[in-house]
Structure 1
Amino acid sequence: MEYSKQKLTEEKVFKDPVHRYVHVRDKVIWDLIATKEFQRLRRIRQLGTTYFTFHGAEHSRFNHSLGVYEIIRRIIDDVFDGRPEWDPEDRLLTLCAALLHDLGHGPFSHSFEKVFHLDHEEFTQDIIVGDTEVNAILSKVNADFPTKVAEVIAKTYENKLIVSLISSQLDADRMDYLLRDAYFTGVSYGNFDMERLLRVMRPKEDQVVFKYSGMHAVEDYILSRYQMYWQVYFHPVTRSAEVILTKILHRAKELHDEYYSFKHHPIHFYSLFEDELTLEDYLKLDEHIILYYFQMWQEEEDKILSDLCTRFVNRSLFKYVDFDPAKQFKVHSQLETLFKQVGIDPNYYLVVDSSSDLPYDFYRPGEEEERLPIHLLKKSGEIRELSRESDIVDAISGKRRTDHKLYYPADLIQDDTTNSEMKQKIRSILESL
């Protein structure tokens, strides 16, 4: 029997707190899970520094990837099966893309990407088509199968229905991470009726649509996503930890560029610092490696690197105040000057961080990050865009919300043993914001 059709002699299951069980019968899927590239995801947290705020948020990209696979498996096997719009020959391709969609995430994910100008989706594609265990398994299906999986993840695959299942404004990826992140953070914001959404989901030529009778379940999902972003993902304490994390990485690179002699040499970072990162180097990076260096760098002679690492390891985070960089840029400049005068480097200890989210958008062709809208299927067969029918969604459609915070080390400006007058002035300015 050809490899793509092979089934396990007995179904394998993963016990899962969100979906109860993750079911695996396809040998290809089971073999992919066993690869070292997929197992690496156990060592990458799903929510980066969120565990500093919500102590339960220790779940991994491995958990999430299995969850997305399970949602897609249920959609294909229970909802789409037998419907003329769905080609069962696409089943394995869709399952593999769902399972592998986050394969290229690095340690602390988005924070890490921003510092080193990386793109996890590009690394995901490189792992799939490169010299890896994952590629060897996918290639056993057929020679061009890895390329097809990579194209689904890149959103360039010709079958847009498959792409929309994994990447759209209401997809399996978002459904799993909202429910999973809500569960592990202990909040109720991300909960929505996924069972109802699956029941009203229908395949169409270019994307998934939802029966009009399920509009309220879709509204519930949109609002849950909105709440999760502002109550969990953009929590200011989490962002404080991210600020320190990024500053540690910036400082380490700056010291490397200045030929600083590290007590604990950043061997795993050399190719990153020198812009010579290979796929092999990238796959060696995980959060255990990063945290090892942070632990060791507490002993460095460079006071900034040592201090920042000590703060991160021991959760001694920066304080924050609301800040409008457009209106208060003069205040920021004044604070920078005062920080320098009291011997605190503002490049590392006075940081403006901004978070922004667009909870739902209608189609804006040609615009950057254009989003395919969510469509409702009426009994007549007419398809209507969600915000045209829902007053709730219409109220937030296309409205980007942005939040700015100014982060600073309160302990350093509270210490009045030196420069007490200037530190008092700093405190007065910050208290006035």
Structure 2
Amino acid sequence: MLYKNEQLHEEKVFKDPVHRYVHVRDRVIWDLIATPEFQRLRRIKQLGTTYLTFHGAEHSRFNHSLGVYEIVRRILTNFEGRPHWNKEERLLCLCAALLHDLGHGPFSHSFEKVFKLDHEHYTQQIILGNTKVNAILERAEKGFAQKVADVIAKTYQDQLVVSLISSQIDADRMDYLQRDAYFTGVSYGHFDMERILRVMRPMEDQVVIKETGMHAVEDYIMSRYQMYWQVYFHPVTRSAEVILCKILQRAKVLYHDSTYTFTLKPTHFKSFFAGNVKLEDYLKLDEGIVTYYFQLWQEEEDTILRDLCERFMNRRLFKYVEFNPNSQMNEWMELHKLFTDVHINPDYYLVVDSSSDLPYDFYRPGEEEERLPIHLLMPNGELRELSRQSDIVEAISGKKRTDHKLYYPHDLLENVSDPRKKKRMKEILIGQGEEKHVN
């Protein structure tokens, strides 16, 4: 039997708190899970710094990747024998689902922001590079690794396959909403996934939903909306992300300062600081390594790096107030000068952080990010865009919500010796609204 079609002698299962079991019968999938590149995902948290807000959020990209694979496996079981579905794409879909997050770095999006990286780029690099993952995919079929990379890049010719992994209702979102809700302990992210899977139908270029499943999809979209604002954009998590980013920025500045000598040299960060990241360096870096440096950098001579690391490791986070940089630029500039005058470096201790989300959107040709809408399959075979049928979805369609907060160290302000400047800083900050303490 060809390796591509080889089945295990006995089905393997992973016990999963969200899906109960993750089932594996394909030899290729089982071998991919065992690769060092995939096992590395055990050491990358799914939700970055969210564990400092919701203490249960310790789950990993490994958990999530298995979950996305399992959802796609179930969808494909329901697609068997249906029109528009090409069963030859089955293994490709499963591999793309399993490997879609392979390129995430430590603390994911914060890390990408500082070093201007793209995890999808590194996912493709791992799949196509000199890796165990690549060897397995190429053993399955010559050129198969490129097909998997194309699906993840959304450039694969069969857009139906792409839509299973990346669309406004895909296996990725369906897993992380439920998984993140479970591990954070909130009730927002729950929806009737089993119902949605039952009413999914393959069409020529995307998955559509039977009209009878519309209410389950409404629930899914509202769950996503609530999870973003109650969990993903939680201000305490964002405070930790701000400090994390500033640690990495400060370490990068010191690395390029020829007069500074690190007590613990940032060996694992060298190619990142140099802006020439090699794949082998990327794969060596995980959250255990990063926090090891943060732990020891608490003893660095540089007071800013030392202080920021101590804050992050001991959860001594910044306070915050509501702040709109678009309409409050004068206050921002005055605060910046006051911080500088009292020797609190505003580059590291006065940070505006913005978050925005678009819960659902219909198709807008020419937009920078064109979103393929969710279509309902009507009883007469006609397709209708979701927001034209659902009043709930119509109410939030195309409405982008943005939130700005100003983060600063309350304790350092309390220690300012100049009473006039201290009073003025507090007036500006508290004038923006009630000061929020990070608990």
What is the TM-score when the length of structure 1 is the normalising length?
A: 0.99
The alignment partner of 1:299 has SS state of: coil
Name segments (4+ residues, structure 1) moved above 6 Å. Answer: none
Alignment-mate amino acid for residue 227 of structure 2: M
Corresponding position of 2:428:
429
5 Å matches for 1:20-419? 20-77=20-77, 79-259=78-258, 260-416=260-416, 418-419=417-418
Alignment-mate amino acid for residue 325 of structure 2: P
2:266, 2:356 → 1: CA distance?
A: 33
What do residues 310-354 of structure 1 show as CA deviations (whole Å, max 9, x unaligned)?
A: 000000000000001111110010001111111100000000000
Corresponding position of 2:435:
none
Corresponding position of 2:9:
9
- Once the two structures are TM-superposed, the CA of residue 365 in structure 1 deviates from its matched residue by 1.5
Alignment-mate amino acid for residue 126 of structure 2: I
- Once the two structures are TM-superposed, the CA of residue 67 in structure 1 deviates from its matched residue by 0.1
The alignment partner of 1:192 has SS state of: coil
1:84, 1:340 → 2: CA distance?
A: 66
- Once the two structures are TM-superposed, the CA of residue 415 in structure 1 deviates from its matched residue by 1.8
The alignment partner of 1:242 has SS state of: helix
1:316, 1:265 → 2: CA distance?
A: 25
Alignment-mate amino acid for residue 56 of structure 2: G
What is the TM-score when the length of structure 2 is the normalising length?
A: 0.98
2:301, 2:426 → 1: CA distance?
A: 29
- Once the two structures are TM-superposed, the CA of residue 419 in structure 1 deviates from its matched residue by 1.9
The alignment partner of 1:102 has SS state of: coil
1:351, 1:277 → 2: CA distance?
A: 27
1:209, 1:331 → 2: CA distance?
A: 49
2:70, 2:419 → 1: CA distance?
A: 59
What do residues 19-78 of structure 1 show as CA deviations (whole Å, max 9, x unaligned)?
A: 00000000000000000000000000000000010000000000000000000000101x
- Once the two structures are TM-superposed, the CA of residue 82 in structure 1 deviates from its matched residue by 1.1
1:242, 1:18 → 2: CA distance?
A: 27
The alignment partner of 1:66 has SS state of: helix
What do residues 226-269 of structure 1 show as CA deviations (whole Å, max 9, x unaligned)?
A: 00000000000000000000000000001111122000000000
- Once the two structures are TM-superposed, the CA of residue 420 in structure 1 deviates from its matched residue by 2.9
2:387, 2:331 → 1: CA distance?
A: 41
The alignment partner of 1:366 has SS state of: coil
Alignment-mate amino acid for residue 109 of structure 2: H
1:112, 1:228 → 2: CA distance?
A: 22
- Once the two structures are TM-superposed, the CA of residue 275 in structure 1 deviates from its matched residue by 1.3
Corresponding position of 2:436:
none
1:419, 1:33 → 2: CA distance?
A: 59
- Once the two structures are TM-superposed, the CA of residue 421 in structure 1 deviates from its matched residue by 2.6
- Once the two structures are TM-superposed, the CA of residue 143 in structure 1 deviates from its matched residue by 1.2
Alignment-mate amino acid for residue 405 of structure 1: K
1:42, 1:256 → 2: CA distance?
A: 29
What do residues 165-194 of structure 1 show as CA deviations (whole Å, max 9, x unaligned)?
A: 000000000000000000000000000000
What do residues 58-106 of structure 1 show as CA deviations (whole Å, max 9, x unaligned)?
A: 00000000000000000101x1011121111110000000000000000
Alignment-mate amino acid for residue 373 of structure 1: P
The alignment partner of 2:324 has SS state of: coil
Alignment-mate amino acid for residue 284 of structure 2: K
2:82, 2:218 → 1: CA distance?
A: 26
Alignment-mate amino acid for residue 164 of structure 1: S
- Once the two structures are TM-superposed, the CA of residue 424 in structure 1 deviates from its matched residue by 2.1
1:339, 1:50 → 2: CA distance?
A: 29
The alignment partner of 2:430 has SS state of: helix
Alignment-mate amino acid for residue 128 of structure 1: I
What do residues 362-396 of structure 1 show as CA deviations (whole Å, max 9, x unaligned)?
A: 00122111100000000000000001111111111
2:288, 2:313 → 1: CA distance?
A: 12
Greater CA drift, 121-130 or 419-428: 419-428
1:377, 1:276 → 2: CA distance?
A: 48
2:84, 2:428 → 1: CA distance?
A: 62
- Once the two structures are TM-superposed, the CA of residue 142 in structure 1 deviates from its matched residue by 1.2
2:336, 2:400 → 1: CA distance?
A: 29
The alignment partner of 1:384 has SS state of: strand
Alignment-mate amino acid for residue 43 of structure 1: R
CA RMSD in angstroms, aligned pairs only? 0.6
1:232, 1:410 → 2: CA distance?
A: 24
1:264, 1:8 → 2: CA distance?
A: 47
1:53, 1:186 → 2: CA distance?
A: 11
The alignment partner of 1:74 has SS state of: helix
Instruction: Point out where structure 1 has 5 or more consecutive residues left out of the alignment.
Output: none
- Once the two structures are TM-superposed, the CA of residue 152 in structure 1 deviates from its matched residue by 0.2
Corresponding position of 1:18:
18
Instruction: Point out where structure 2 has 5 or more consecutive residues left out of the alignment.
Output: 433-439
2:196, 2:296 → 1: CA distance?
A: 48
